Amino acid sequence: MTQPEQTAAPRMIAISSGKGGVGKSTVTANIAVAMADAGLSVGVVDADIYGPSIPRMLGIATEKPTMTHDQKFIPAMAYGVKVISMAMLTDDDKPAILRGPMVTKYLQMFVRHVDWGPLDVLLLDLPPGTGDIQLTLAQAFPLSGAVVVSTPQDVSLKIARRGLRMMEQVNVPILGVIENMSGFTCPSCGDVTHIFHQGGGEAIAQELCVAFLGKVPLDPNVVDCGDDGQPLTRAAPDSPAAFAYRYIATALAQTGRDAAGIATPFVWSLANGSGKPIPARNATGGPADSLAALDRDDGGLILRWADGTEQRHTDRDLRLACQCAQCRDEVTSARLLDPESVPLDLSITRIWSIGNYALGIAFSDGHDTGIYTFKALRAMTGVELEDV
């Protein structure tokens, strides 16, 4: 039976940074406008729940958005870019005092419960760091890739490296590094002063074998434009910084088109057979731990990897392999689950995707808190079908 074609979805690109104050939101706003000017349909999720700034930079009034008949938010529009932000749901001077679960709820709402319409690209302006918001996005949505923004300053680059490693661990492709505040050109004499050193962003990109997307020079107009709600790419289109933004936008527009591995997101209910994931278009040729297809028979769960290897794991073996805090000690990794307590006739009831890097699995004994990373599944001892 032929599988149905994968439905078109926007490329979701996370714009991240290891530390604050590197100009990440300014970069996001200007890249979004540059993409829209190039003819792409672009949306921006201001995922910095505690410190939203995208509406101010794009001159968007922070009024509560209206709703569609099916209770979805209608995003604001400015300079051809659709935007949703926490700033639209709270008063200008009212802080968002939220615990982690509520932050997760708002992030889910900003992506899934907004009437985006057809989009080519959805940019996610992340807060600095490697905390709840970054992990939630990596687990809940099939990110096409991430961009890391840094200044050339050594301490900023060191923290940016941690952000890159975090994205790698959850199988989010690194689309590249942007070096912001890369040097100041004196408007009178033309001399360039490298206030935060130079070349650090390019060096870290080479060190980590990722693309260097470009450097954005310091420009006093960036501050004035941001405060006035006018992106530099429109207010000063001939400036070196505006040229850099357009160059980066063009580079990003060509990346993240074909996500490797199985089509996500999905929720596969084995009780009624609904939601079975669609295999990858290109079944082979990707990384060894990229899952290309998922199936099931009486012998257990069948995993086909991008390098062509196929494995089968029994339902009970997968249950015993669970690494969650209920089944393994979080400090010592000692097994807490008694194998004798796991029924021999235990079965899988539901499987769902967790970002681009793992599966969630629910079992007939009610257990459903385990995260099975592709790397761990590939390393499990099972039956290699090509040897049967």
One pLDDT digit (tens) per residue for the chain, 388 residues: 344 344 457 888 999 887 677 888 999 999 999 999 999 999 999 988 777 889 999 999 877 888 899 889 999 999 999 999 988 887 655 556 666 677 778 888 888 899 999 999 999 998 876 667 777 777 778 788 889 888 877 666 777 777 777 887 777 888 989 988 876 766 666 566 666 666 667 777 887 788 889 888 888 788 788 888 899 999 989 888 899 999 999 988 876 555 567 877 789 999 888 888 888 765 555 566 788 899 999 889 999 998 889 999 999 999 999 999 999 998 888 999 999 999 999 999 999 988 878 899 999 999 999 999 998 999 997 655 554 4
Please give the pLDDT value at position 387. Answer: 44
- Secondary structure of the chain in HEC code, one letter for each residue: CCCCCCCCCCEEEEEECCCCCCCHHHHHHHHHHHHHHCCCCEEEEECCCCCCCHHHHCCCCCCCCCECCCCCECCEEECCEEEEEHHHCCCCCCCCCCCHHHHHHHHHHHHHCECCCCCCEEEEECCCCCCHHHHHHHHHCCCCEEEEEECCCHHHHHHHHHHHHHHHHCCCCEEEEEEEEEEEECCCCCCEECECECCHHHHHHHHCCCCEEEEEEECHHHHHHHHHCCCHHHHCCCCHHHHHHHHHHHHHHCCCCCCCCCCCCCEEECCCCECCCCCCCCCCCCCCCCEEEEEEECCEEEEEECCCCEEEECHHHHHHCCCCCCCECCCCCCECCCHHHCCCCCCEEEEEEECCCEEEEEECCCCCCCEEEHHHHHHCCCEEHHHC
Please give the pLDDT value at position 289. Answer: 74
Q: Where are the domains of the chain?
A: 11-253, 267-387
Please give the pLDDT value at position 246. Answer: 93
Q: Which of 128, 126, 146, 124 is nearest to 18 (CA)?
A: 128
Q: Domain 11-253 is of which CATH architecture?
A: 3-Layer(aba) Sandwich (3.40)
Please give the pLDDT value at position 4. Answer: 39
Please give the pLDDT value at position 232. Answer: 92
Contacts of 224 (CB under 8 A, 6+ apart): none
Please give the pLDDT value at position 162. Answer: 78
CATH number of 267-387: 3.30.2020.30
Please give the pLDDT value at position 388. Answer: 40
Please give the pLDDT value at position 91. Answer: 63
Please give the pLDDT value at position 6. Answer: 42
Q: Which of 259, 207, 251 is nearest to 27 (CA)?
A: 251
Asked if the domains 11-253 and 267-387 are classified in one and the same CATH topology, the answer is: no
Please give the pLDDT value at position 1. Answer: 34
